[in-house]
Amino acid sequence: MTPSELYLDAAATTPPLPSVIECINAVQREAWGNPSSLHGTGLVAAEQLARSRQTIAAQLSADEDELIFTSGATESVHLALQGVAAGCPPGRLVISAVEHPAVEGAAGQLAQLGWTVARWPVDGSGRIRLELLDQLLAPPTQLVSLIWGQSEVGTVQPIPLVASACRERGIPFHTDATQLIPQGLMDWSTSCIDLLSFSSHKLQGPRGIGVLLHRQGVLAQPLLTGGGQEGGYRAGTEAVALIAGLAVALQQLPRFNPHQSMAPPGSTPQIRSMRDRLQSKLEAIPSLTVINATEEPRLPHHLACLIADRAGHPLAGRRLVQQLSRLGVACSSGSACRSGHAQDSAVLTAMNVAPSWRQSLLRFSLGPWLNDDDLDAVPPLLIRAIDACT
């Protein structure tokens, strides 16, 4: 975040908290050893790692041996899908039609191993069509992976319902919770989810560390082999300082009971009202349509819109992002992982948005570093950006 830039791209990444940076620096200084070493220097690192693991497990109501530290959500997703697939003959993998490229990529690798990949269709709000549940969970489905909070359009999927339907049928269920966990920590011990991926850099923790939560016996094989760290599920010397930073960041997050409310509460109590205030101001711009404006559940920090010029012609979201950046606002035209090249959004395509609008998405995603005054500056700047792109 440059000092002069308003940072509204939390779904891409978030600024590490000062307490996280302090903790990482302290651990790098004082517990820099290899936690597998048997000498005193190694033991200091091993103790630090054990403390962080305990804190993180407690935050998620998980057992410590249900946590695997990875390099980020992309690796967690690959370990989840490939780790399950290694334990059974190729069958059918069900994913939603609105997954992040990390899941699409992992599914593509299973397809090369002979798996069939079925995409669960979604409605116009990006939510999976529940009337297809029995059909999609019937044999030969052997693995299901669904995104919990959609990164481009903010839709929250009915994960507890699908997870328990999978449990009843004995089908391992993975969720990509990368966008959801930063908005609320769920209780892993009472959920029917078998595998859950998330990433530290989306919740004001450090970059380069992620988590896969797993039930014992679900993973048949690790992705990375070698030193036997992480219970044999992920070889490689543990990133002790990054894990400690993640533990600090997680402690700031509120709790979330998905059985009481399908939408997580938000990283702070104010985040939803800041989003709603920004939304109501943006809705006054005639050439702008908020996606899922009245839809619930929706990620509470997330606001996606489709934008046209004053004559009503769809504008390229990428151009608007660049123009807004010149005006001091950082936002995104969709998933950061897709932003390298202009192409129709697969998510908008799955939601049956008209083809001419599929490159016109603009995403604002908020964090606790913003306030109402910051957000009130955005609509006039957006109008300037729209005019500059016309």
Q: Considering the rule CB under 6 A, would residue 292 count as an interface residue with ligand PLP?
A: no
C-beta of 141 vs 151, nearer to ligand PLP: 151
Kindly give, in sequence order, each residue whose CB lies less than 8 Å from that of residue 373, ignoring residues fewer than 6 positions away. Answer: none
Kindly give, in sequence order, each residue whose CB lies less than 8 Å from that of residue 113, ignoring residues fewer than 6 positions away. Answer: 85, 90
- Percent of residues in the chain assigned helix, strand, coil, to nearest 5: 40, 15, 45
The values of phi and psi at residue 113, to 5°, are -90, 5
Token reading at 277: 């205030």
Q: Considering the rule CB under 6 A, would residue 205 count as an interface residue with ligand PLP?
A: no
Report in angstroms how near the CB of residue 117 gets to ligand PLP at its nearest: 17
Q: What is the dihedral of CA 87, 93, 99, 102, to 10 degrees?
A: 30
Which residues sit opposite 199 in a β-bridge?
210
> Annotated catalytic residue: which of 88, 192, 337, 389?
337
**Of residues 98-157, those binding ligand PLP (CB under 6 A):** 100, 102, 147, 151
Q: Considering the rule CB under 6 A, would residue 316 count as an interface residue with ligand PLP?
A: no
Which residues sit opposite 288 in a β-bridge?
307
With CB under 6 A as the contact rule, the residue among 160, 182, 205, 210 that binds ligand PLP is 210
With CB under 6 A as the contact rule, the residue among 43, 235, 262, 337 that binds ligand PLP is 337
First to last CA, the chain: 28
Relative to beta strand 288-290, strand 302-307 is antiparallel
Q: How many residues touch ligand PLP (CB under 6 A)?
A: 15
Report in angstroms how near the CB of residue 291 gets to ligand PLP at its nearest: 16
Helix or strand or coil: residue 156? Answer: strand
**How far, in Å, are 309, 363, 386, 390 from residue 313 at the CA level?**
5, 19, 11, 9
User: What is the DSSP code string of 172-202?
Assistant: -EEEE-TTTGGG-B--GGG---SEEEEEGGG
Report in angstroms how near the CB of residue 178 gets to ligand PLP at its nearest: 4
Q: Considering the rule CB under 6 A, would residue 184 count as an interface residue with ligand PLP?
A: no
Helix or strand or coil: residue 220? Answer: coil
With CB under 6 A as the contact rule, the residue among 73, 185, 274, 348 that binds ligand PLP is 73
Token reading at 66: 């249900």
Four-residue CA torsion sign, 219, 221, 224, 227: positive
Residue 337 annotated to the active site: yes
Q: How many whole angstroms separate alpha carbon 235 and alpha carbon 222?
A: 8
Report in angstroms how near the CB of residue 175 gets to ligand PLP at its nearest: 10
Report in angstroms how near the CB of residue 127 gets to ligand PLP at its nearest: 15
C-beta of 75 vs 194, nearer to ligand PLP: 75
Q: Considering the rule CB under 6 A, would residue 199 count as an interface residue with ligand PLP?
A: yes
Q: Considering the rule CB under 6 A, would residue 206 count as an interface residue with ligand PLP?
A: no
Region of 16-24, 72-80, 105-113, 291-299 interacting with ligand PLP (CB under 6 A): 72-80
Region of 66-74, 167-175, 251-259, 369-377 interacting with ligand PLP (CB under 6 A): 66-74
C-beta of 66 vs 176, nearer to ligand PLP: 176
C-beta of 248 vs 385, nearer to ligand PLP: 248
Token reading at 257: 């009971």
With CB under 6 A as the contact rule, the residue among 179, 183, 323, 332 that binds ligand PLP is 179
Site residues (CB under 6 A) for ligand PLP? 72-74, 100, 102, 147, 151, 176, 178-179, 199, 210, 335-337
